Structure 1
Amino acid sequence: KSSPLPCHLLIFLLYLNHIVSGQIRYSIPEEMKTGSLIGNVAHDLGLDLKRLRAGRARIVTGESIQYTELKTDKGILVVSERIDREQLCGDVTPCSFSFEMILETPIELHRVVVEILDVNDHAPTFQNSDVKFEISESATIGARFILESAEDPDVGVNDLQKYVLTPNDNFVLKQLANPDGSKYAEMILLKPLDREEHPRLSLKLIAVDGGNPQRSGTVNIEITVLDVNDNAPVFNQSVYRATVMENAPKGTYITTVNASDADSGSNGQITYSFSKLKGIDIFTIDMSTGSISVSGQIDYEKDKKYEVRVEAKDQGGLTDSSKVVIEVLDINDNAPVINVMSFSSPVSEDAPPGTTVAVINVKDADSERNGQITCSIDDNLPFKIKSSLSSYYTLISDIGFDRETTPEYNITITATDSGSPPLSSARTLHLRISDVNDNAPLFDKGTYSAYVTENNSPGMSIFTVSARDSDWNQNARISYLLEDTQISGTPVSSYISINSETGVLHAVRSFDYEQIKQLTLVVKAQDGGSPPLSSNVSVNFFIQDQNDNAPQVLYPVQTSSSLVTEMVPRSADVGYIVTKVVAVDVDSGQNAWLSYKLQKATDRALFEVGLQNGEIRTIRQVNDKDAVKQRLTVVVEDNGQPARSATVNVNVAVADSFPEVLSEFTDFTHDKEYNDNLTFYLVLALAVVSFLFITCLVVIISVKIYRWRQSRILYHSNLPVIPYYPPRYADTLGTGTLQHVYNYEVCRTTDSRKSDCQFARPCSQNVLIMDPSSTGTMQRMQSLFVTLLRIHLVSAPPFADSYFIQRLPRSHALCSSLP
């Protein structure tokens, strides 16, 4: 293991980039089984297992094959792929690979270097199984013959250590080493060859490594003895040096080697060849001229230098060798490679400026300026990129985010090297901004107004409110609520309900315009955020009137216990007011506009009804031939759609004297009951009427005196005067037929044998309370108008003003007739 980074450098890096880094080193043999332990990373770096899990510790190599695996639960590093040192590093020693272990929150980078130790898993091998030599018998003692070198991919002690030649009388083996440390052997002639004695020799060359157990390789050496060639070729240089650009096309000339031979003729003809070439397909040599050229693909990133051995051989089999060193020149043929080490997406929109979004690593296989990298992003984006450790960059936010304005960003990171021309690569990161609940729901209007027709069906949809929220997902999920308010002392929920999801308002009950004309409520829109945000809006409902009430006839009274008969003198002229039909309609507007029509009459040529005022008048002069008993049917109709109506029967007696009226009136209702005792009943009726008349005068005088006293008391006191309003007949908007409250003092004279007159007590002692649903109340109201009309007809002159209903002060006492 190597020691961590120097303390002062580590503190400097932490200060600049807030990133902790360290380095550890392990050494393992190659060919270890998958899952084999490499080392305890957590212990060696002084990290807690919880920190590994919380920081999402992982290994980043940037390579296609990942040889190691981090077990975060145990904090150990194990082998994940078979490691072949020869495949990984070739003959480079020491052999190692490195990677970064990254932790987040905060970000830590630890460099791990794993050195692969060689094991003796390869035996030395020769390129050819047989080697043939042709040696002249005139070869001098001490002549050297270079043997084929064996190759062993292993290194160190496991590499090729020595060569062994099978025992013979002519040759001895000498082992030599190249400048790069590789070993080769030469056969040295100790005893001259005798072609006539031994024209052929068969030897074996054994290459032995130093492993345990030891491995070896063998090549057969076949020697053919030639006659007379006593000079070997000689190179003019022991080492040739040349350069070549990487990616040079095939056929590119590199250099030429040259050797000479003192022999003449065929013994002086030299051929050139490579005696040992790593990557034989990369270079080629012209066997006649010694010109070396490119025949394959040259990659600086794979091999920066090549060393090859060239052999010159004459026709007599004598050889010489020289070394050619070829250096590869780098060109900018590799674009930078961008690896994303860490990327946080989504990022909350309330993240402060300076938040780390991503950590990237950029590598370039080129060297020097061709490998110098600069990173950049679009200037219009709210991000900055900073350089941290060597080849590491941090992407941070520059301003605050607003998801409602920009919900996501496409961040293109461009890495450019300094080559000529420069090469670049780009990586796009798609960053999403997560929502926070920072926007309240908004209604499209400040106030809503809606119209609802009365008598609606309970549960029907009457209006819809809508709000929008520019947040997202749960923060934009709106619920609608009714504020807990009261309408006339009743909770608003008893009138209106709302669908919390759709904002649809429903009527809980059927509305009655005559009871309530307007509803005002407050709807609250609340989102689903935490904490939730809300806004309110007012909704005004205006109840629209329907023609759901028929006209009510107040006069003449139509009851089973009383009968109203109007009297017309036979001297009545044209236009004589017989009576007035009084009706009201509790609806409003045109639904309460009443018209009067004469439906049936005993004599249609005698009477007419005012269309607007309901006055019954004579339309011709009354004569003696007209029947005493006249019966009229009047229809009262409102102006609604559809129209509603009511009918009333009016009995009219055409007579000049009361006895005649009484006689005819009796015949109207009691033709059979009183036929036998007509005289008795007439006398009795006169007595009763006289008694009632005197009684009424006394009571009226008493009431007048009492009311005068009460008014004086009320005048001198501070008590409020409470006027009487007949229920359902006072139109608060002033659109009905009765626009004011009327109080009357009345008495009744006609049909005295079946009705009595009642007088109201003083207001200070009696407050009349009427139930709208009570039949008795309506009958009392009708009786009030009957007695009023009676007084008018008795006391008024024949051609008095037909508008007998006079407005009286509201503090006057009330008088009601019997039902």
Structure 2
Amino acid sequence: MAFKSSPLSCVKWRLNFRSVWPFLLFLGCLSHIVFGQIRYTIPEELKRGSLIGNVAQDLGLDVQRLRSGRARIVTRQSIQFTELKTDKGILVVNERIDREQLCGDVTPCSFSFEVILENPMELHRVTVEITDINDNSPTFRKEEMKFEISESATLGSRFLLASAEDADVGSNGLQKYILNTNDMFGLKQHSSPDGRKYAEMVLQKPLDRESEPKISLKLIAIDGGTPHRSGTVNIDITVLDVNDNPPVFNQSFYRAAVLENSLRGTYITTVNASDADIGSNGLVTYRFSNMKEQLADIFHLDESMGTITLAGHLDYEKEKKHEIMIEATDQGGLIDSSKVLIEIIDVNDNAPVINVMSFSSPVPEDSPSGTTVAIINVIDADSEQNGQISCATDSALPFKVKSTITNYYALITVSAFDRELEPEYNITVRASDSGTPSLSSTTVLRLRISDVNDNAPLFDENSYLAYITENNSPGMSIFSVSARDSDWNQNARISYFLEETQISGNPTSSYVSINAETGTIHAVRSFDYEQLKELTFLVRAQDGGSPPLSSNASVKIIIQDQNDNPPQVLYPVQTGGSLVAEMVPRSADVGYLVTKVVAVDVDSGQNAWLSYKLQKATDRALFEVGLQNGEIRTIRQVTDKDAVKQRLTVIVEDNGQPSRSATVVVNVAVADSFPEVLSEFTELTHDKEYNDNLTFYLVLALAVVSFLFITCLVVIISVKIYRWRQSRILYHSNLPVIPYYPPRYSDTLGTGTLPRVYNYEVCRTTDSRKSDCKFDRAGSQNVLIMDPSSTGTMQRIQSEKSILDEPDSPLEVSFSFSAL
């Protein structure tokens, strides 16, 4: 049968008011931990698997709660007698329970354990009481008892018989003794203060050694079980001759006390018995009677003096007192008995024992103050003041120990955690008793703090600056950004992303990309410094927490120029069909400014620094080119012997590494009048026309007659279109830069030559209206052009357009020669 008491309402019903109010006060303090208590009663020797009780029903819990709370049994016994079936919510026998082995003489016999559940924490105490069954027969320590009794023994003499021992208790224990029927002796039964039963044999008829020297009897010990069990011992009595005075103790009861930590040989007490006989019949000896086996090694009795000393080790926690029977025997075999009660005085010889019943590790760093970390059970085997326990921990740590029910303590937090500052704690819990001197014990709990994503990634710098040379290969690594996160594990795993912004109307991702793992930034395309000089965008570092945290850093990439553009010659314009010539009068003096080569380079820095050199010339001794400004001047006086036609090849180089260059051919006419110039250049055009006609007739000769008309038509149209395009080059040049043209050049050396006026017409780009430069409309601009299709006539082209009127028109350059 199982008796239960649960949950707390049952506990209140069973406890008196004085024991209930501290428990209720504790329950009010620990609202987040539930405690209950149930009690079952079962007989011993049940088979394994036998049902003890329905724990789930008795505690008011469902089976699902037992599973989710990881319900388990925590016991201090070395053998776990019970097992909790969480799938059914029942408590069953796990090991055979022998009440006599578990409790011995102690009654009632019970053992306790705790059922612990987690999430939330619940602690329930279960007590199982073991009832006795009649499974042990009374037994005598000796197989026979021998007495030597004088024939002169008086009627009513008592002879103490050895007691039987029955491991059972209560009604199943020893109840009575029976002496087989005889005329000489009767039986008288007694009970000691501790409930043990013993018997004395009483002489009822005088003995006669001559008629009956030996007497054999049987003593039967019977218990109260159903059915009865019994034990038997033989009593052999030898009748002695004439010793008619038995020993007599001076006290029927002796009391002594001894400290449990006393050393061996410590004096306890002395018993004394006297005999009225003299001689050998009056010589008294002492011995222990009916002593338990474990006491034989603890106490020593001097047979002749009756002195009791300590021979072994005492343990107050196991036995608080010992009751010993002592017999005094004379040489005639007469006996008297007395009792000695030895009380054990407790000393503080047991330190508290700490048992960690439940420990939660790791604990999240955002756990609130008051979170229960561990449940601790502390036991001290000492009693009274020596067994009163106090439990504490290091005050420097954010924890404290709070008492719950008897001998149980909760380790709770008193402040918030920060894993980044303190990732773990070594908590020393110290339990001390109140003895003198005080004994204590400690246990160390290693509590780890689990991470919470409470720190955003931080870049090493708020802004980054990097450089890359233009014309890079796509996919090239530019540089890397780096961020740190003081969190741990997944919360500290950083990924890098580009914040989508616009650069020159295009998304940032079309220019650069970033490796999400390493933070390395790569170029998506090849950059052109002339189109894009810098990139500015944001990089976001995001951790892997939930929800994720992030931070941004600005990145500026400056594109460096490379010498990838050759110089572009703006003047003189090179035409395919017409010859442009500069006129130099034969009266020109040294340093006369013939013309100026104008070139630009769209690169920047030293890559755009231009230098001018004269590569070839008809007469190198006549002209020179300014290294920095490209001005072509005479270096000697012009003479009549100088050829009219002068051809100069000028090379323009930039300062890049390696340098790039462009060449321009400048035709110069050395003459004082136009007819002279015309005659020279017309001869050149006639030669060219002759060669063209010869080629044309050769083609006609080889052509098929059937395609003659079509071929002629195609050739004529092609020639017309080609000449028309060549004539337009002078006015429309699609250059993407703003060239520089000096407004006027004149001979300023004071040589007395006639001044020449050079007019330049320049086109502007779309943004040139914002410039501070202003241009006046040219009234009349003239260029000397020799057209091979003409027969020696000179054409004059006049431009009346203003640069400011057509800001988006292509570059037009014209030159006017005028003689003042």
Structure 2 residues without counterparts, runs of 5 or longer: 14-19, 694-727, 732-761
* Deviation at residue 557 of structure 1 after TM alignment: 3.1
Q: Structure 1: how far apart are the matches of 2:476 and 2:547?
A: 34
* Deviation at residue 604 of structure 1 after TM alignment: 2.9
Alignment of 1:550 onto 2:573: no
Q: Structure 2: how far apart are the matches of 1:618 and 1:766?
A: 37
| Identity over aligned pairs, percent | 70
Give 1:536's aligned residue. 552
Contact 2:367 2:416 in 1 (8 A): yes
Contact 2:4 2:58 in 1 (8 A): no
**TM-aligned CA distance change 1:304 to 1:513, over 3 Å:** same
Alignment of 1:795 onto 2:818: yes
Contact 2:582 2:594 in 1 (8 A): yes
Alignment of 1:28 onto 2:42: yes
Contact 1:69 1:80 in 2 (8 A): yes
Contact 1:521 1:539 in 2 (8 A): yes
Alignment of 1:665 onto 2:681: yes
Q: Structure 2: how far apart are the matches of 1:317 and 1:300?
A: 37
The superposition leaves residues 479-511 of structure 1 with CA deviations (integer Å, 9 ceiling, x where unpaired) of 222222111211111111122222222111111
* 3-state DSSP of counterpart to 1:63: coil
* Deviation at residue 545 of structure 1 after TM alignment: 0.9
* 3-state DSSP of counterpart to 2:288: strand
Contact 1:596 1:613 in 2 (8 A): yes
Alignment of 1:228 onto 2:273: no
Alignment of 1:128 onto 2:167: no
Contact 1:730 1:741 in 2 (8 A): no
* 128-137 or 252-261, which deviates more: 128-137
Give 1:5's aligned residue. 11
Q: Structure 1: how far apart are the matches of 2:406 and 2:346?
A: 22
Contact 1:633 1:647 in 2 (8 A): yes
* Deviation at residue 229 of structure 1 after TM alignment: 2.2
Give 1:64's aligned residue. 78
Give 1:437's aligned residue. 453
Give 2:528's aligned residue. 512
Give 1:725's aligned residue. 764
Give 2:130's aligned residue. 116
**TM-aligned CA distance change 1:251 to 1:561, over 3 Å:** farther
Alignment of 1:752 onto 2:791: no
Contact 1:301 1:366 in 2 (8 A): yes
Contact 1:631 1:650 in 2 (8 A): yes
1:298-697 paired onto structure 2 within 5 Å? 298-666=314-682, 671=687, 673=689
Contact 1:2 1:24 in 2 (8 A): yes
* 11-20 or 328-337, which deviates more: 11-20
Q: Tell me the matched-pair count.
A: 733
* Deviation at residue 370 of structure 1 after TM alignment: 0.5
* 92-101 or 329-338, which deviates more: 92-101
The superposition leaves residues 697-724 of structure 1 with CA deviations (integer Å, 9 ceiling, x where unpaired) of xx9xxxxxxxxxxxxxxxxxxxxxxx95
The superposition leaves residues 381-424 of structure 1 with CA deviations (integer Å, 9 ceiling, x where unpaired) of 22233222222223322223333332332222211110001011
* 3-state DSSP of counterpart to 2:189: strand
* Deviation at residue 676 of structure 1 after TM alignment: 13
Q: Structure 1: how far apart are the matches of 2:25 and 2:585?
A: 127
Query: What is the alpha-carbon root mean square deviation over aligned residues?
Result: 3.2
* Deviation at residue 298 of structure 1 after TM alignment: 0.9
Give 1:257's aligned residue. 271
Structure 1 residues without counterparts, runs of 5 or longer: 678-695, 700-722, 771-780, 798-819
Q: Structure 1: how far apart are the matches of 2:659 and 2:670?
A: 34
**TM-aligned CA distance change 1:203 to 1:726, over 3 Å:** same
Q: Structure 2: how far apart are the matches of 1:47 and 1:287?
A: 65
Q: Structure 1: how far apart are the matches of 2:238 and 2:774?
A: 150
Contact 1:607 1:616 in 2 (8 A): yes
Contact 1:562 1:754 in 2 (8 A): no
The superposition leaves residues 302-322 of structure 1 with CA deviations (integer Å, 9 ceiling, x where unpaired) of 111111111122222222211
**TM-aligned CA distance change 1:11 to 1:760, over 3 Å:** farther
Contact 1:375 1:416 in 2 (8 A): yes
Question: Normalising to structure 1: TM-score of the pair?
Answer: 0.83
* 3-state DSSP of counterpart to 2:784: coil
Q: Structure 2: how far apart are the matches of 1:762 and 1:645?
A: 32
Paired letter, 2:142? N
Pick from 14, 30, 49 the counterpart of residue 17 of structure 1. 30
* Deviation at residue 658 of structure 1 after TM alignment: 3.4
Q: Structure 2: how far apart are the matches of 1:631 and 1:763?
A: 31
Q: Structure 1: how far apart are the matches of 2:819 and 2:391?
A: 113
Q: Structure 1: how far apart are the matches of 2:578 and 2:169?
A: 138
**TM-aligned CA distance change 1:467 to 1:746, over 3 Å:** farther
1:179-328 paired onto structure 2 within 5 Å? 179-278=193-292, 279=294, 280-328=296-344
Question: Normalising to structure 2: TM-score of the pair?
Answer: 0.82
Q: Structure 2: how far apart are the matches of 1:105 and 1:405?
A: 27
Paired letter, 1:795? S
Contact 1:521 1:538 in 2 (8 A): yes
Paired letter, 1:725? R
Q: Structure 2: how far apart are the matches of 1:84 and 1:724?
A: 118
**TM-aligned CA distance change 1:244 to 1:732, over 3 Å:** farther
**TM-aligned CA distance change 1:209 to 1:741, over 3 Å:** farther
The superposition leaves residues 188-216 of structure 1 with CA deviations (integer Å, 9 ceiling, x where unpaired) of 23344444444444443332322234333
* 3-state DSSP of counterpart to 1:86: helix
Paired letter, 1:354? G
Give 2:715's aligned residue. none
* 307-316 or 138-147, which deviates more: 138-147
Q: Structure 2: how far apart are the matches of 1:553 and 1:410?
A: 82
* 3-state DSSP of counterpart to 2:201: strand
